[in-house]
Amino acid sequence: VIVEVVGVGTELLLGQIADTNAQWIGGRLAAIGADALFHQVVGDNLQRITSSIELALSRADAVIVTGGLGPTQDDITRHALAAVAGVALERRPELADGIRERFARAGREMPESNLVQADVPAGARTITPERGTAPGIVLDVGGRRVYALPGVPVEMREMMEGTVLPELAVTSGPATIQSRTVRCVGMAESRIAELLDDLFHGSTNPTIAYLAGGGEVKVRLTAKASSAEEAAALIGPGVETVLTRLGDVVTSTSDEELEEVVGRLLRAAGRTIACAESLTGGSLSMRLSRVPGASDYFLGSAVVYRPASKRALLGVLQETLDGPGVVSRECAAEMAAGARSRFGADVGLSLTGAAGPEGHDGAPPGTVWIGLDADERTHQRRIRAPGDRAMVVRWSEQAALDLVRRLLEGRPLLDAEPVVR
């Protein structure tokens, strides 16, 4: 079954709110195997809402409209529905009573204008709200169906779960669209696409999509099948092939965040980690501690923003601060060793660099040194992160966590220039 979502509201066009309704509905439609080919957003204008719904009906079996069902003048979805069906609005006494009762129960006086929510296109079915006052409207037009739901997300979701999705599931039969996401760090999106190109060329089930951002690339495989098990069986071999082709840049085949991967590996190895953070200002620790149960392996972090703090808290040498400076291999190495010994951790991880927009201590913005101190070795890696401050910080976190992942998985450490003590 093909379903089209139409978001109504000028505030969506003006960028004042994001169309999270369409996002949520998209996910739920995929779960029941309904095909969403188009989404539309339209402002609060009768003619344009009407033509949006007509366009959607011309290419979908069912249309889900959200928004514009309230009691104010700008809420005109009901009028558009009546226009699409070529019928008049009629006031339903039972709906009007329901609205009155709702206000009475809440001990509030009802503005007369609220009764327009009892106006429904002739012949339409309604969905009774549990929370809000606006009933949903279900209208059949020429063998196709329009569902009009309130814009308020909780009210919309309630009607989707209670009525729309169950009805669509019956029409579409047993079907589901499932995805698996393989996440990669340390390889460009274009290179990944090149390596996988022949595999999925012309494949429609599963399909493949690439999403780059935040210092990683996500490769998403999506399959449609009559059951979740069947979809998993279609995707599974593809995931295995992707893993074989891409090798050790793959951080997860089940959409885990890198901090989850590192946490899982540390827990499995029974090892602990401590950090020393300069340019990231504690955000690496935030990520590590986000994972439930992180105290099993995450001991703590020193946020050492100024050179004197690096020295006082972690024992970075004055010669290092005066000589190579804070954005250097030496400083990263001493910070990692300092964090490891101060916290008594198995692994010390450090980050020092220039987040930008200015350079720092002679290093251009985006220059970051990562230090790792574990077992009998110390390892440092320099990266050049692109973008603004936030992006440099994010890339730094990714590269640092990925270095720990590589260590724990026994993979080669990137830019390996190990110094054996």
- Write out the residues near ligand ATP by the rule CB under 6 A: 7-9, 12, 17, 19-22, 66-70, 75, 134, 150-153
Tell me whether residue 136 or residue 186 sits nearer to ligand ATP (CB atom). 136
155 binds Mg ion, rule: CB under 5 A: no
When CB distances are held under 5 to 8 angstroms depending on the partner's kind, the choice from Mg ion, ligand ATP, none that residue 153 binds is ligand ATP
Own/partner contacts of 58-61, CB < 8 Å, gap of 24 or more, are 59/2, 59/4, 60/2, 60/3, 60/4, 60/144, 61/1, 61/2, 61/3, 61/144, 61/145, 61/171
Minimum CB separation of residue 414 from ligand ATP in Å reads: 42
Q: Judged by CB, which is closer to Mg ion: 78, or 183?
A: 78
**Binding of Mg ion by 132 (CB under 5 A):** no
Amino acid at 98: G
Nearer to ligand ATP, 77 or 301 (CB): 77
What are the angstrom distances between the C-alpha of 176 and each of 26, 28, 179, 299?
A: 13, 10, 10, 43
The nearest distance, CB 79 to ligand ATP, in angstroms, is: 12
Please say whether the beta carbons of 28 and 51 come within 8 A: no
Distance in Å, CB of 119 to ligand ATP, minimum: 13
Do 342 and 274 form a contact (C-beta atoms < 8 A)? Answer: yes
User: Site residues for Mg ion, window 13-72 (CB under 5 A)?
Assistant: 70
Q: Which two tokens stand for residue 175?
A: 């079907």
Our CB check for ligand ATP shows the closer of 29 and 407 to be 29
In whole angstroms, the minimum distance from the beta carbon of 257 to ligand ATP comes to 25
- Residue 159: count of CB within 10 angstroms of its CB: 26
Looking up tokens 């994972």 gives 291
Compute the distance between CA of residue 175 and CA of residue 351 in angstroms, rounded to an integer: 47
With CB cut-offs between 5 and 8 Å by kind, which of ligand ATP, Mg ion, none does residue 150 bind?
ligand ATP
Q: How far is CA 95 from the centre of its chain?
A: 39
As measured in angstroms, the least distance from the Cβ of 315 to ligand ATP is 52
**Structure token pair of residue 236:** 């599974």
Alpha-carbon gap, residue 41 to 56, rounded angstroms: 11
Determine if 75 is a binding residue for Mg ion (CB under 5 A). yes
Q: Which does 371 bind (CB under 5 to 8 A by kind): ligand ATP, Mg ion, none?
A: none
- Based on CB atoms, which residue is closest to ligand ATP, 91 or 306? 91
We find the least distance from the C-beta atom of residue 119 to Mg ion, in angstroms, to be 14
Binding site for Mg ion (CB under 5 A): 70, 75
